[in-house]
A and B are shown apart, each in its own frame.
Chain A
Amino acid sequence: MSATSIPLAEGRMEWHLPYRGRVAMLSLITAEAAIFSIFVVAYLFYIGKSLTGPMPKDVLSVPVFYTICLLTSSLTIHLAANALRRGSVQSFGVLWFVTIALGAAFLYGTATEWHRLIYQKGFTITTNLFGTTYYSLVGLHGFHVVVGLVSLSVVMAFTLLGSVGSEHAERVDVLSLYWHFVDAVWVVVFTVVYVIGR
């Protein structure tokens, strides 16, 4: 250590900056949105370009119930975060659990649909362009639901162990941002795959 440092001004002043977790999550969501938009563009670009069947209207059925499940989970996670901010850990735990259950129900819905497509219709990712884009886009979203569910379950485990309190409300908010994003992406995917693409 050669020279001493140059003394700096010290002092107190009002100084507020945004919470780094929120900023980072919003940045991550932007990056994820860019990834999804590329897959959505590919899906839209390849609609009707498959050289062989089956076509979307032949095999796809609209998953209305499971969509309602996923969208409802956005509401429950919002209420859960609110409950934690108020300090009522009990109702936070219940609502958080309901969120996980709704997310799991959605995943179950995707699983049964894929099982039906693969084993009854013989429709896979290699079948045609529709298969490639459909399984990629829905699968990428499903992967994000899985990541979300794992994260939510970690928070659930800590809640059951009694180590989550209102001081964690800001962090739980960050996680709920991610979950809202996963739901919002489903709205886009649903529109593209089941409304426009069908």
Chain B
Amino acid sequence: MSTESIAWPSTTVGSRPFVDHVHEWIATVDHKRLGLLYIGFALMFLMIAGMEALIIRIQLIRPHNDFVSPQVFNRLFTMHGTTMIFFVIMPVLFGFANYLIPLMIGARDMAFPRLNAFSFWMTAFGGLLLYFSVLGGNGLYGAGSAPDVGWFAYAPLTSQTFSIGHSTDFWTLALLVSGFGSIGTAINIIATVLCMRCPGMTLAKMPLFAWLNLVMAGLVVLAVSPLTAAQIMLVIDRYLGGHFFDTQAGGSAVIWMHFFWVFGHPEVYILVLPAFAFASEIIPVFSRKPIFGYSVMVGATIAIGFISMSVWAHHMFTVGMNAAANTFFVISTMAIAVPTGIKIFNWLATMWGGKIEFKTPMLFCIAFLFQFLIAGLTGIMQGAAPFDWHLGNSYFVVAHFHYVIVGGILFCVFGAFYYWFPKMTGKMYSETLGKLHFWIFIVGFHLTFDFMHIPGLLGMPRRIYTYEPGRGWDTWNFIVTIGVFFQAAAILVFLGNLLWSYFRGKAAGSDPWDAWTLEWSTNSPPPAYNFAVIPVVRSRRPLWDLKHPDDPDWKYE
């Protein structure tokens, strides 16, 4: 029964040169180190893209502001969007998936450790390539700098005629390269979940985290590939003189929209499913109850995966599609609210009657439930085509998708940081600083994104670098910008907490939350081999079974 971990002879080894440590991290194929690299990489880009958002908002704090030029403003919103989606949220989610999936399913590594390292470095080089445009974007014509075509880069803005120099090329190649990385990681996650589970862990006994990430990986395979194809076409247009999106040669600008959003909408679910995965692990542990409706949760996840592939053109109602297409995409968009609603009710039912502990991870997840609901409701509003005709391309849209991505996804990501920080570092975070982070951030979030809906309803379009006074937008924009400073302050508290706790935090022990999944059974931080002996499980909560041999879960499942 006993499986003491193998003693690590660290005390006998003298200190090694710094360059050895660097080499160890660069050449690593260990899923935990690659996970941490992903997370560190994402945090670095979070700082950069956050600064871009801050500058955007300072420019808009009052009418006729001239903090940055219109050209720089265009570059800022393009880089902010592209960075946040591809080089912050996706890497941070892949990082957690990489770190946690093998630990949760009782495996010693991912299915393909070297593919894992390759995928990470592709993503990292993609991010560096995007920012290299600041130096290299001038190109032969001395025009352009960072990309300024918007994060969905509609044709014909991306054609040689309108985008001279190399800024758009850097954008395209960055997404192409990081796309290969994402597909590689997704294939790795699928193979790991399907082929590396420890004995006894059938698909129906996997933690929900593994299930949701499996569906996420499937979506990456199906949705990021079209983006890759579209980027190849754009490269052909720009470098080989092709005509895919060249309207003067009979090409279509609208087909780029279709190709982009065939990727773009499932991408939202690629981002949100891992956030659901965090919530599905954190909420039961801090409610002291098993997840409510496990099989329904799995079913709803798969349903979301399928439906999300058929809703993309709700981003294009204002393009002018025919009535049949509009109707189809309205109905499918409404349909996806059903499985999402099921999930929200399941989390609520998990909390219902539970002995809720209001620790920082749980606070973030509770806020997520509330805010994700609001984000879903404004989503339904815009999913109705006639309503969207009025609000398309307005600040209402910006407020809606930031409510999803910040209020939903980022809150879960923060929850995950606090929840698994003890496992990853072996140290306990500071609960005081964590709560401070939560409260400052939630104030900033609601100041910014609640009030951002209103100028949208009053007709303020997105992506404008300034606006006229006296349209009723001034006060709202002022409040929105003030909120951003709160958020920035909260992020500083968060980073400070991470650093302080890493160096000064109390030892956490292997299982600080009295949790039930396998990652809490090994040391904190886990040794390179994860488990001295590969575990055997009989239920969805193997650690519950161990702690309560008189009343194990497998009797009831």
Q: Which residues of chain A have a CB within 8 Å of any CB of chain B?
A: 1-13, 15, 17-20, 23-24, 27-28, 30-32, 34-39, 42, 45-46, 49-51, 125-126, 128-129, 132-133, 136, 140
* Cβ contacts A to B, 10 pairs, < 8 Å: A2-B524, A5-B532, A9-B542, A10-B533, A23-B191, A24-B111, A27-B217, A34-B225, A129-B243, A132-B243
From residue B339, how far is it (CB to closest CB) to chain A in Å? 22
Contact of B523 among A5, A50, A129, A133 (CB under 8 A): A5
Whether a CB of chain A sits under 8 angstroms from the CB of B8 is: yes
Are A7 and B3 interface neighbours, CB within 8 A? yes
**In the complex, which of the residues B112, B229, B538 has the most CB atoms of chain A within 10 Å of its own CB atom?**
B229
B172-192 CB mask vs A (1 if < 8 Å, else 0) is 000000000001001110111
Are A20 and B535 interface neighbours, CB within 8 A? no
User: Roughly how many angstroms separate A51 CA and B248 CA in the complex, as a whole number?
Assistant: 9
Question: Which stretch from B83-91, B234-242, B386-394 is at the chain A interface?
Answer: B234-242
Are B3 and A13 interface neighbours, CB within 8 A? no
B497-518 CB mask vs A (1 if < 8 Å, else 0) is 0000000000111110000001
Whether a CB of chain A sits under 8 angstroms from the CB of B28 is: no
B212-249 CB mask vs A (1 if < 8 Å, else 0) is 00000100011111101110110011001111100001
Whether a CB of chain A sits under 8 angstroms from the CB of B19 is: no
- When distances are taken between beta carbons in the complex, the residues of chain A under 8 Å from B186 are 27, 31
Closest B residue to A52 by beta carbon equals B249
User: Roughly how many angstroms separate A51 CA and B243 CA in the complex, as a whole number?
Assistant: 11
Whether a CB of chain A sits under 8 angstroms from the CB of B443 is: no
Contact of A7 among B2, B524, B545 (CB under 8 A): B2
- When distances are taken between beta carbons in the complex, the residues of chain A under 8 Å from B111 are 20, 23-24
Given contacts A2-B509, A9-B537, are A132 and B524 in contact (CB under 8 A)? no
Query: Can you add 7 more A-B contacts, CB < 8 Å, to A42-B259, A125-B240?
Result: A3-B524, A4-B5, A6-B521, A9-B542, A20-B192, A128-B249, A136-B244
Are B509 and A42 interface neighbours, CB within 8 A? no
- When distances are taken between beta carbons in the complex, the residues of chain A under 8 Å from B276 are none
Whether a CB of chain A sits under 8 angstroms from the CB of B196 is: yes
- Cβ < 8 Å to A, chain B residues 1-42: 1-5, 8
Are B190 and A3 interface neighbours, CB within 8 A? no
Looking at chain B, what size class is its interface with the partner chain? 35 or more
Are B187 and A34 interface neighbours, CB within 8 A? no
- When distances are taken between beta carbons in the complex, the residues of chain B under 8 Å from A3 are 507, 509-511, 523-524
Contact of B187 among A7, A31, A37 (CB under 8 A): A31
Whether a CB of chain A sits under 8 angstroms from the CB of B252 is: yes
User: Roughly how many angstroms separate A2 CA and B194 CA in the complex, as a whole number?
Assistant: 32
Are B195 and A129 interface neighbours, CB within 8 A? no
User: Roughly how many angstroms separate A31 CA and B192 CA in the complex, as a whole number?
Assistant: 17
Are A10 and B521 interface neighbours, CB within 8 A? no
B249-270 CB mask vs A (1 if < 8 Å, else 0) is 1111001000100100000000
Whether a CB of chain A sits under 8 angstroms from the CB of B546 is: yes
- When distances are taken between beta carbons in the complex, the residues of chain A under 8 Å from B518 are 8
Are A27 and B187 interface neighbours, CB within 8 A? yes
Are A13 and B522 interface neighbours, CB within 8 A? no
Whether a CB of chain A sits under 8 angstroms from the CB of B426 is: yes
Are A8 and B546 interface neighbours, CB within 8 A? yes
Given contacts A13-B200, A125-B240, are A6 and B510 in contact (CB under 8 A)? yes
Are B523 and A31 interface neighbours, CB within 8 A? no
Closest B residue to A6 by beta carbon equals B521
Given contacts A6-B546, A51-B250, are A31 and B225 in contact (CB under 8 A)? yes
Given contacts A7-B2, A9-B1, A45-B255, are A126 and B242 in contact (CB under 8 A)? yes
Closest A residue to B2 by beta carbon equals A7
